[in-house]
Structure formats: structure tokens, C-alpha cells
Structure 1
Amino acid sequence: MYKNLEAEMVRRGITRKDLAKSLDVRYATIIDKLKGRYSFTLDEAFKIKNKYFPTLSFEYLFETQRKSA
């Protein structure tokens, strides 16, 4: 789960559809990646950071919060 990324998306009005279009992947793929079912590739993560969040740190945006057991 990428809570920081999702919070920043809301703050800036960036939709999941925007990410899907930018990365040329299905909308469902973005949902799966944001929920932590699959990871973003390094290339995808850099594209997101550079296009939408150039002033934020990579570490902050893609910090993951694991579900507690």
C-alpha cells in the first residue's frame, strides 16, 4: 500500500486513470499496484515521480505500509 502516493494524488487531483494512461497500463493494474498486490517497476515509479511529483522525494512517495497480521 502506498498511502503517501495516494494522499499526494488526492491533494493534486491526480486520478488513478491519469496514472494508467501515463504508464500505458490498464486501470485495474494501477488499482492492484496501489493496493500492494503487485509492485510498481522502478521505471514506472520514476515516471510517476518525475511527471507528477518532481519536488517530492522518491522514498516518501513509495514508502510502503505493510498490513499487520
Structure 2
Amino acid sequence: MYSFLRGEMVKAHISVPMLAKQIGVSEKTIRNKLNGETDFTWPEAVTIRRIVNPNLSIEEMFRCDEKNVVE
């Protein structure tokens, strides 16, 4: 669901296990969040932005893939 965020993680050489550890959640939890099964909290989003690419806005970092957006 968050393919842009995943791409930014690759550019920053940050794996899912590394990110999970940095924000204090399990790998399963971060995978569920990246797949859109559960939501990121605001503090998690702020921390992820700081770790992955602080030059992007939260909106840019967490934009959803259009094909997965439910209206």
C-alpha cells in the first residue's frame, strides 16, 4: 500500500526489521502497517519520516497507492 515509503526505505538502506526496531514495534506490526492492514500512529509517522527521509513531508512519505484507496 505504501510503495513510495517502501521505495524511500530502499534508498535509505533501511530494512523492515530495522525500521520496526527503530519505532519500537514488531516486524509483523510494521509489515501490517506497510500493507495497510493497520494504521500508523502520528508519532510513528513522525519518527519514520525523521529516519527515512526528513526532507519529505509526512503527506509525501505516506501517500497511498491510488489503486488501493477506497472511496
TM-score, structure 2 normalization: 0.86
The Cα offsets for residues 3-62 of structure 1, whole Å up to 9 and x where unpaired, read as 110011111211001111011111000110000101100110001101221111211110
In structure 2, the residue matched to 1:25 is 25
Question: How many angstroms does 1:67 deviate by?
Answer: 5.7
SS in 2 for 1:44: helix
In structure 1, the residue matched to 2:56 is 56
Stretches (4+) displaced over 4 A: none
Quick one: distance in 1 between partners of 2:21 and 2:10? 17
Counterpart amino acid of 1:11? K
Quick one: distance in 2 between partners of 1:46 and 1:2? 15
